Amino acid sequence: MLKGVDILANAVKVTLGPKGRNVVLDKSFGAPRITKDGVTVAKEIELSDKFENMGAQMVREVASKT
């Protein structure tokens, strides 16, 4: 679960601050989406490992409640 938390945090942290970078989100349908919004990045991350995904979902839920 901790690995999932780290994966989500690493994906979101590059978007933070004035020097934040753009992230490309690839969907199974449609064109790829380019965003600099950490919330959008967090919502779109889906991990294949069940326990890693559980850790990422916990962080996502906690972040949405604050």
pLDDT value for 15: 93
pLDDT value for 29: 87
What does the alpha-carbon distance between residue 22 and residue 37 come to, in Å, rounded to a whole number? Answer: 8
Name the stretches of the chain with pLDDT < 70.
none
What does the alpha-carbon distance between residue 18 and residue 51 come to, in Å, rounded to a whole number? Answer: 33
pLDDT value for 63: 86
pLDDT value for 31: 92
What does the alpha-carbon distance between residue 30 and residue 10 come to, in Å, rounded to a whole number? Answer: 25
pLDDT value for 10: 94
pLDDT value for 56: 93
